[in-house]
Chains A and B, each alone.
Chain A
């Protein structure tokens, strides 16, 4: 899928406030959001900061999405467990999957292997993005977020969104 279509899909599902820390896999999406008048994109210094910003934006009436590399999931765990899950705050986490199948630079291999386990332990509903059913996946994520007041993670592998 083209990154513009992915952003339109987010927009169509009501996501109007994005923040995060870049990853090469998310590069096109973040660059597009930053330049688009349809989105607010706030560049954060850390992924947990992005989550804090998203919590504030949610309480202020926005529907937030946080973009990060899976390395940033490590930085985010306390923000997720002692803020987002504790206060029951819905938000979309778009997490890129570096270290997929052990084929990547050494610093990505551990989180690449265990990312889904970390999400599972936190009981965060998670889906791996597949381009053929992406529209359905974003709709489902949005619905679960709102019905269950929970964060939902969409995992993005390399070369799925161009």
Chain B
């Protein structure tokens, strides 16, 4: 599975959900595939996508929040999975697109080739946690999880192949303002 295609498959399942996308290629690919005000692109603060998604989901129990993180991001703050499990927001779906490397800095390997991220999430208090190995499976699982009470976790293994996409060209305060405008219906 190319990560680009996995992001595309996720976007195809979404309607009014809010997305917190981690720094690096995942934000850039999401921006290129379908930019929308409901996307929050995290440009810096590597490791904090899960935490931001948790805060947003707790503040808005009636909206669905989807976190898109890479293996580098989630391994940097595995503890956040424990925090999410304990806080247990029903409206949170955490997806990890795992290519076993730090893509944007030159494909240096991470330890996710041996880490069972879905099992860690499942044993940290996530209500649903599973693994997807194709875009079809990913779409089926995500469609199902969007209807279930969470928190839910999907671990997707993706290729190291990279699609050239531009950087996110929005100013950070603008990313925040338009996201909030939608979420808070201002």
Interface residues of A (CB under 8 A from B): 17, 19, 40, 42-46, 48-62, 64, 78-79, 81-83, 86-89, 149
Q: Are B83 and A40 in contact (CB under 8 A)?
A: no
Q: Sort A-B residue pairs by CB-CB distance and give the 8 closest, nearest first.
A: A56-B55, A60-B59, A82-B44, A52-B51, A45-B79, A52-B48, A56-B56, A83-B45
Q: Are B176 and A52 in contact (CB under 8 A)?
A: no
Contact B183 A61 (CB under 8 A): yes
> Is there contact, CB below 8 Å, between A86 and B60?
no
Contact A78 B44 (CB under 8 A): yes
Question: Which residue of chain B has the shortest Cβ distance to A81 in the bound complex?
Answer: B44
Pair B79/A57 contact, Cβ less than 8 Å: no
Q: Which of B60, B80, B172, B180 interacts with A49 by CB under 8 Å?
A: B80
B46 to chain A, nearest CB (A): 8
**B184 contact set on A, CB distance < 8 A:** 60-61
Whether A58 contacts B55 by the Cβ 8 Å rule is yes
Say whether A87 contacts B48, CB under 8 Å. Answer: no
Q: Are B183 and A59 in contact (CB under 8 A)?
A: yes
Confirm or deny: B179 has a beta carbon within 8 angstroms of a beta carbon on chain A.
yes
Interface pairs (18), CB distance under 8 Å: A17-B55, A43-B86, A52-B52, A55-B48, A55-B52, A56-B53, A56-B54, A56-B56, A56-B58, A59-B56, A59-B176, A59-B183, A61-B60, A61-B184, A79-B45, A82-B44, A86-B44, A88-B176
- Also in contact, A89 and B58, with CB within 8 A (given A45-B83, A61-B184): no
Q: Which residues of chain B are within 8 angstroms of A40 by Cβ–Cβ distance? A: 58
- Contact, CB under 8 Å: A82 / B55: no
Distance (whole angstroms) from the CB of A145 to the closest CB of chain B: 15
In the bound complex, do residue B83 and residue A44 qualify as a contact, i.e. CB atoms below 8 Å apart? yes
The residue of chain B having its C-beta at the shortest distance from the C-beta of A54 within the complex is B55
Q: Report Cα–Cα, A105/B179, bound state, in Å.
A: 44
Which residues of B33-82 have CB atoms within 8 Å of chain A's CB atoms?
A: 40, 42-60, 77, 79-80, 82
Partner of B51, one of A49, A60, A78: A49
B20 within 8 A of A: yes
Is B87 engaged at the interface, CB distance under 8 Å to the other chain? Answer: yes
- Complex interface: chain A residues within 8 A of B176 (CB): 59, 87-89
- Please give, as numbers and ranges, the residues of chain B lying within 8 Å of A48 by CB-CB distance: 45, 47-48, 51, 77
List residues of chain B with CB within 8 A of the CB of A55: 48, 51-52, 55
Besides A55-B48, A62-B55, A78-B44, 20 other A-B contacts (C-beta < 8 A): A17-B58, A19-B55, A40-B58, A42-B58, A43-B83, A44-B83, A45-B83, A48-B48, A48-B51, A49-B77, A52-B45, A52-B52, A53-B54, A55-B52, A56-B20, A56-B51, A56-B56, A61-B60, A64-B55, A81-B44
CA distance A45 to B184 in the complex (A): 28
Please give me the residue from chain B that is nearest to A56 by CB atom.
B55
Asked whether, in the complex, the Cβ of A57 is within 8 Å of the Cβ of B45, the reply is no
B55 touches A87 (CB 8 A): no
Residues of B within 8 A of A50 (CB): 51
